[in-house]
Every structure is written in structure tokens, then in C-alpha cells.
A = this chain, B = another copy of it.
């Protein structure tokens, strides 16, 4: 009718038959949930009423297919939908668009799991370092590396560097910028990264340690990659980026460029995807699978029991997604954070295991007047 010039055979020949799948959590009764699943198949591919499609390959192979549909509990259903690999175009941006583009604006749909095809995995750099790579850099083969942040905003670059020196002396392995430090006049990026990296190298030499400084390179689009290379040049041992601010695909780009530094993903500005149990992207997929696919070597997430509202199950889902098989991609460090104090650490390690980064920021200042003493207590909690 509208598409008399369309040739099924041409399209058929362009499709490999390879598919990736997404599991969606759908709220409502069985019919409501099924209708949502059927709607997703078209909305996330052709975005067109199926009755108006030219018959043949488009409805059969371009539109998604419901491969499994089952009740999860009284209020939700799980639908596994397969999509032709080719509709993702080998692009992480378009893969995310198929996953959750338009349906991010529909009610009662949550991405519960993602299973990329081999073809899609092959297009992604994945984590360059992962757990083993970061452990090798900081020289911590078994226990959870200790992780803290330089803050508060308003300190000068030299003030922050002086803090970094004390953290290295105190036994901290990874010292990152607070995620709000970008290129403010009071601690400009270049000066800050030079001074903090120098301070950490000097303290490593003095105290026989292998600590690293991880600057925040979250930056405007044109400057992001430059800051990553500058961080390397100035002596940083890793880089941190907030994909909620730069786009998730910027994380993939950074991993792809092989800067030679592990990448730490920060959750700023991305929380809205995980703030509802029936909506958005589940914590394990967002903070685990997607960060790992994009190439993060460690993923900082808001742990339960601190300033943020995630549940124990949410957090366990993230930790699982960081480490479970995912093609040939390296497992990555989960880094629970957000108001953690020394008293929370033992429980974190008991629950998540040794393959985690123990990130305590303000909590390391709050537990006593002497920063070196506070660091020592941090180590003691971990029997170090």
C-alpha cells in the first residue's frame, strides 16, 4: 500500500539471524503485561503499527519477538524479547535505544536483564583492566582495596594534594576526586591533577606504597577525551567519569581509546533510572551490566544503609552483574558507597566478598579528629 517499492529479499539477505535479548519486568495483570510486551516489540524497533507494515521480513524479523513470558509475582511479569542484531547497527547508542529508548517514557516497564549477542559484544571494548588489572596496579592481590575521595569543594589544588599525601601515608590504595570537582577556579583541572598525582607518587616513594590518584574527568563533550589523556600525562593512576552526565557511550569511547588507565564510573545524574521498582532500568543492569559493557573497570554505586535508598537486593544484583559471565568481558569491581562509615565496612565485605572496592569518603573524616588515625581504623576493620 505505502511500500510498493520495498523488496523482502533484499532485506532478508542483509540479516544474519543473530539476535540479542532483553528481559523486561512489566507491571499489571496478565493481559496488561502481555500487551506491553507486544507493544515493546514494535515500539523499540519499527515504531509503526504492525497492521500497516509491508508483510514479510519486517514484521517477521525486524519487529522484536516475545520468546518467553512468565509471571514473576502478583504484580509483575517478565517478558524476554529478542531483537535482530542488525537493528542495533553495531552502535552502543542504538543498542541502548532499542533496549529502552521510547519505552523510557512508558509506565510500568523496567529493563530486568540484558543478553547482548556475540556480534554486539564484539563491537564493545569492555573493561580494559577489571578486577585483576586494578589489583595489579595497586598491589593488593586479595583484600578489598581501600578507596576514598578528595573533598570538600572549595579547597585549593594544593590543599587537596596535601590530603592525598596523608591518605597514602594512611594506607589508602585509591584516592579519587570528589565527583563535583571538575575545573573550578579554586582547584583547576590541570593544577589539581598535576599536584595530586605528584603528591601520590611522592608519598608512594616515601612510604613504600602503590596508591593511585583518580581524577574526575567528567567534562564538556569537546574536552572529555583531552582530560583523559592529560590525566595520564600528569601521572594519574585512573580516571573517573559520570556517564549520567557525559552519556553512557562516552564511557565506551574512553575504554575504546586505550588511555592505559582504569576507568571508575560514578552514578551522578543517572539515579532516575533506578528510583522505581517497576520503572526504568534495574540496578544490576544499569550499574553492573551496562557499565561493564561500556568499559568501566569499577562501578561506584549507592549502597544500602547510607544516604541513598537502594535495597540489599538491588545492591546484590549489582555485585552479581559485575562478576557473572558476560561474553569474554572481565569482571569489574563493585564499589558500594554513599555515606558509608567505618562501622558499615565489615558487613559490606561479608556480603559482597573481597572483590570490591571499599569506598569511604566523608566517613573517613567523620570518625575522629586525626586523619592518619582514621585511616588506621579503616585498615583495622578489614584486619589489615
Contacts and interface: CB of A to CB of B under 8 A. Distances in A.
Given A91-B182, A222-B253, 17 more contacts: A2-B163, A3-B159, A14-B185, A14-B186, A47-B152, A49-B366, A86-B185, A89-B182, A93-B219, A97-B218, A101-B269, A104-B271, A105-B308, A220-B249, A221-B221, A245-B247, A247-B249
Nearest to A123: B220
Given A93-B220, A179-B97, A62 B11 contact: no
Q: Which of A90, A182, A253 has the most CB of B within 10 A?
A: A182
A153 B362 CA distance: 50
Interface in A290-323: 302, 307-310
Contacts of A89: 182-185
Contacts of A362: 47-49, 52
A276 B274 contact: no
Given A87-B180, A184-B86, A218 B94 contact: yes
9 contacts: A6-B155, A48-B365, A93-B182, A97-B180, A104-B268, A105-B275, A106-B308, A221-B252, A272-B280
A158 B361 contact: no
Given A14-B186, A185-B14, A104 B245 contact: no
Interface string A1-21: 111011100110010000000
Copies held by the complex: 2
A191 to B, nearest CB: 13
Contact of A246 (B93, B103, B366): B93
Given A180-B94, A219-B91, A276-B276, A162 B361 contact: no
Nearest to A162: B5
B48 A183 contact: no
A100 interface: yes
6 nearest CB pairs, A to B: A247-B247, A105-B271, A104-B271, A101-B268, A46-B152, A48-B152
